[in-house]
Amino acid sequence: DQQVKQNSPSLSVQEGRISILNCDYTNSMFDYFLWYKKYPAEGPTFLISISSIKDKNEDGRFTVFLNKSAKHLSLHIVPSQPGDSAVYFCAASAGNSGGSNYKLTFGKGTLLTVNP
């Protein structure tokens, strides 16, 4: 039972264009959402997060949009750069998940390739 789904295993974009990575979730208890980037042989690196009380959060070239009614979020990268090429994971946590452990549930990831 996958509670966080990233339905696109891969995405290829041209340098300078917009990259849009999508994520869907099923658990209504999720109230915090995060995006991580992962390079080969490294651990995931935190990129940006959004609380369920917001619908948009922006940090430099990265913007995350949240549509609670559709249980959908997306990460926009503008402009895309070759160094952005990595696997991007969507993750979610439920604030009231017993003990406030804030454990993260991850999607399977999307491999982004930005071509020069």
Task: Indicate the residue among 61 and 108 with the shorter CB distance to other proteins.
Answer: 108
Task: Indicate the residue among 14 and 26 with the shorter CB distance to other proteins.
Answer: 26
CA 115 – CA 3 distance, rounded (Å): 31
Q: What's the min distance (Å) between Cβ of 51 and other proteins?
A: 7
Question: Contact positions toward other proteins, by CB under 8 A?
Answer: 4, 32, 34, 36, 41-46, 49, 51, 89, 91, 93, 95, 98-109
Q: What's the min distance (Å) between Cβ of 103 and other proteins?
A: 5
CA 3 – CA 82 distance, rounded (Å): 31
Q: What's the min distance (Å) between Cβ of 115 and other proteins?
A: 23
Task: Indicate the residue among 96 and 116 with the shorter CB distance to other proteins.
Answer: 96
Q: How far is CA 56 from CA 25, 42, 74, in A?
A: 17, 28, 10
Identify any residues that bridge with 15 across adjacent strands, giving them in sequence order.
none
Q: What's the min distance (Å) between Cβ of 49 and other proteins?
A: 5
For 6, phi then psi, to 5°, come to -120, 105
Task: Indicate the residue among 22 and 79 with the shorter CB distance to other proteins.
Answer: 22
Q: Are strands 32-38 and 45-51 parallel, antiparallel or unpaired?
A: antiparallel
